[in-house]
Structure 1
Amino acid sequence: MKSITTVELQEKIINGEKVNIIDVREDAEVAEGKIPGAKHIPLGVVPNSLEKLYKNEHYYMVCRSGGRSTAACEFLINQGYDVTNMTGGMLAWKGEKE
């Protein structure tokens, strides 16, 4: 499984690269702030939300600490998606939040 640090992902955002971020935390967690532009799809809903994702796109998966995003990555990889896990999750995120 591919992984990226919070610093590396933040650099991509700052450099204006197109990044598709999926935040798999629960509603209450996301209400406390998420990475700007991230799409919120709670982990439990991911299997029923595949129509919102495209296999020709790359996605960065994010959660609180990295566990749920790892599970989401494993599931999506098995479904044929191109995904990268953000290690450390939002606990390690030092960038802007919306």
Structure 2
Amino acid sequence: MKKIVMVSLFAMIMTAGCKEAPKAETQAAPAAQPAAAQPAPAAEPTPAPEAPKATITNVEWAQALEMQKNGAVLIDVRTPAEVAEGTAPGSINIPLQEAEQRIAEFPKDKDLLIFCRSGKRSMAVSNFLIQNGYERVFNVVGGFLAFPAK
């Protein structure tokens, strides 16, 4: 199930636009049943899926770097080739493609500052972590493209 969720998230992120959500389509209501029709047997109620107890918080780089000084873990979810071109000091590289297999490397007892190049992959990993019970997940806005130059 986790693989299906991760693959679905990855596929949605790779195909969806970054800024706009797709517009919902409306469907016509089904025609009313004739009065003589027998009522359908009552269906057993389906329990609603449990909503995640935590949410993702977006943070800017200044706040992320301050949080890192106070013990938060900075995680770069870009590929090793991208990381070789530069990354935030002290960050750990766990590429999006390896997040599911390496989930044990994401500490649950610390704030997790997730970043990628621009923000799509970090949001996918952040959602994956929330779905797997993590509660202290922060997405670094703008990704490494917004990293402050010194």
Per the alignment, residue 24 of structure 1 pairs with 77
Counterparts of 1:87 and 1:11, CA distance in 2:
15
Q: What is the aligned counterpart of 1:5 among 30, 43, 60?
A: 60
Check 1:51–1:10 CA distance in 2 against 1; reply closer, same or farther (3 A cut). closer
Segments of 4+ moved more than 6 angstroms: none
- Residue 95 of structure 1 deviates from its aligned partner by 4.6
Distance 1:73 1:29 in 2: 19
The structure where helix makes up a greater share of residues is 1
RMSD of aligned C-alpha atoms?
Answer: 1.4
In the alignment, structure 2 segments of 5+ residues that lack a partner are: 1-55
Contact 1:10 1:95 in 2 (8 A): no
Where does structure 1 lack aligned partners over 5 or more consecutive residues? none
Cα deviations by residue, 1:18-73 (Å, 9 ceiling, x for unpaired): 12011000111100111111000000100010121222222100100011000000
Q: Does 1:42 align with 2:90?
A: no
Q: Are 1:33 and 2:75 an aligned pair?
A: no
Question: Does the 8 Å CA contact 1:19/1:59 hold for their aligned counterparts?
Answer: yes
SS state at 1:21 partner: strand
TM-score normalized by the length of structure 2: 0.58
Is the 1:27–1:42 Cα contact (8 Å) retained in structure 2? yes
Please identify which structure carries the higher strand content: 1
Contact 1:24 1:63 in 2 (8 A): yes
In structure 1, C-alpha distance between the alignment counterparts of 2:81 and 2:64, rounded to whole Å: 23
Quote the offset at 1:11 in angstroms: 3.6
